[in-house]
């Protein structure tokens, strides 16, 4: 018999203290992710944050959801962005995966979306008949340094056995590359001679004004409470001793050797001209949100991202901001650049199938957190 148990925001404190739940052979959520849901300013006490699936009284699957607010056709609505979905392989053919999806759809009155997904998950979403395409964002992956230690094991999993050798190859290649980047760094600094940066943990009124000025048509306009929450409750925690953690109990992001989100206030000639939200996880930087005048300041923003990436030993930059992508494409600091595509879908329940009039940032949905 299949049973689906819902965990609402109000249930989080009790689940947090349930030792049996945390000692289960696999994790359905991490403690810090669960706690973050309980602090989500857009999540009500009765909103679902997690579904637990049982087959014959055995926990065999789960689905997580991130509650957010969106604006479509000038109307604000609540949405649940599906953030995790996993079922035990032994349940294949039981229909429990579809049961989890149907339950989440029903509990949210059909108002759900997915901001990123694997090809296999996409096939299931398509088969459900619930969704339409929300956005197909086209961006860039700009590679600054050799990153074989990340790329090769993804393509050839067996090479994880020779990780030390691949790391050595990266080190050798990057020795010469770093010499080149250090020279280029000085030229970028000259172009930013009138620019001052402030690194924030909460946004001030100047930044909020910039955000409000340049968030027109955004599907999910962000406010001060969102940015304060995002900075305070990472879903991925830094774990220098990663190999000693319980990360293998969870199928999704839980720890990594380095993880941070930077709030960068950009000031030129004593005036705030922009705000960048940049995530860095290990050697990869992602531009989550950007607020600035695209007609005249895109080069400044791109230079800031390049300079920080050089200084931080970043190897790859991923960006979907069209104006900044154009500047990155023109730059000669990179080894190479490739196209990046990000697809998102949304429920037909919202009654809309053309989303050309809205902007979806890389960080919208659950993409800011992992």
Q: Give residue-wise pLDDT tens across range 77-102.
A: 999 999 999 999 999 889 999 999 99
The burial of 93, by beta-carbon neighbours within 10 Å (0-12 exposed, 13-18 middle, 19 or more buried), is given as: exposed
pLDDT, position 246: 95
User: How many whole angstroms separate alpha carbon 94 and alpha carbon 366?
Assistant: 28
Residues 238-260 pLDDT 10s:
999 999 999 999 999 999 999 99
Domains 2-114 and 139-341 share a fold: yes
pLDDT, position 144: 97
In the predicted model, is pLDDT for residue 349 greater than 80? yes
pLDDT, position 124: 87
Residue 154 banded pLDDT, cuts 50, 70, 90 = confident
Of 155, 150, 191, nearest to 174 (Cα)? 150
pLDDT, position 121: 81
pLDDT, position 63: 97
pLDDT, position 184: 97
Contacts of residue 129, defined as CB under 8 A and 6 or more positions apart, other chains included, come to: none
pLDDT, position 155: 74
- Matching CATH number, 139-341, of 3.40.630, 2.60.40, 2.60.120, 3.30.1490: 3.40.630
User: How many whole angstroms separate alpha carbon 224 and alpha carbon 226?
Assistant: 5
In the predicted model, is pLDDT for residue 230 greater than 80? yes
For residue 132 the two structure tokens come to 């339409």
Give domain 2-114's CATH superfamily: Gcn5-related N-acetyltransferase (GNAT) (3.40.630.30)
User: How many whole angstroms separate alpha carbon 187 and alpha carbon 192?
Assistant: 9
pLDDT, position 107: 98
pLDDT, position 120: 79
Residues 219/223/227/233 CA torsion (nearest 10 deg): -80
**Mean model confidence pLDDT for the chain:** 95
Span 141-147, mean pLDDT?
A: 94
Residues 97-143 pLDDT 10s:
999 999 999 999 999 999 988 887 888 899 999 999 999 999 999 99
pLDDT, position 163: 78
Span 191-206, mean pLDDT?
A: 97
Residues 268-320 pLDDT 10s:
999 999 999 999 999 999 999 999 999 999 999 999 999 999 999 999 999 99
Q: What's phi and psi for 304, nearest 5 deg?
A: -65, -45
Residue 164 banded pLDDT, cuts 50, 70, 90 = confident
pLDDT, position 61: 97
pLDDT, position 21: 97
Going from N- to C-terminal start, the domains of the chain cover 2-114, 139-341
In the predicted model, is pLDDT for residue 161 greater than 80? no
pLDDT, position 20: 95
pLDDT, position 149: 80
């Amino acid at each position: 018999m299949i049973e689906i148990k819902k965990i609402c925001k109000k249930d989080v404190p009790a689940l947090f203290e349930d030792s049996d739940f945390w000692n289960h052979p696999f994790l359905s959520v991490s403690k810090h992710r669960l706690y973050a849901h309980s602090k989500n300013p857009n999540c009500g006490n009765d909103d679902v944050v997690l579904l637990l699936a049982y087959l014959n009284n055995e926990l065999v699957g789960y689905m997580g959801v991130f509650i957010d607010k969106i604006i479509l056709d000038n109307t604000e609505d609540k949405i649940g962005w599906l953030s995790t979905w996993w079922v035990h392989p032994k349940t294949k053919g039981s229909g429990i995966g579809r049961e989890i999806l149907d339950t989440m759809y029903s509990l949210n009155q059909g108002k759900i979306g997915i901001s990123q997904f694997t090809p296999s998950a996409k096939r299931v979403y398509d088969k459900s008949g619930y969704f339409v395409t929300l956005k197909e964002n086209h961006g860039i992956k700009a590679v600054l340094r050799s990153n074989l230690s990340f790329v090769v094991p993804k393509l050839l999993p067996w090479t994880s056995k020779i990780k030390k050798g691949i790391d050595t190859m990266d080190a050798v290649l990057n020795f010469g590359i770093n010499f080149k980047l250090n020279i280029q760094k000085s030229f970028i600094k000259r172009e930013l001679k009138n620019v001052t940066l402030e690194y924030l943990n909460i946004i001030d009124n100047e930044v909020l004004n910039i955000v409000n000025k340049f968030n027109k048509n955004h599907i999910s306009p962000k406010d001060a409470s969102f940015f304060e929450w995002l900075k305070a409750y990472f879903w991925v925690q830094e774990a220098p001793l990663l190999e000693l953690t319980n990360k293998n109990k969870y199928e999704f992001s839980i720890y990594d050797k380095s993880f941070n989100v930077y709030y960068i206030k950009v000031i030129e000639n004593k005036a705030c001209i922009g705000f960048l939200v940049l995530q860095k996880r290990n050697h990869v930087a992602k531009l989550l949100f950007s607020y600035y005048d695209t007609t005249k300041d895109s080069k400044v923003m791109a230079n800031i991202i390049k300079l920080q990436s050089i200084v931080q030993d970043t190897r790859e930059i991923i960006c979907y901001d069209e104006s900044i992508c154009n500047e990155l494409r023109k730059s000669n600091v990179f080894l190479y650049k490739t196209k990046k595509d990000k697809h998102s879908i949304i429920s037909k329940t919202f009654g809309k199938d053309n989303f050309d009039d809205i902007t979806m940032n890389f960080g919208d949905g659950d993409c800011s957190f992992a």
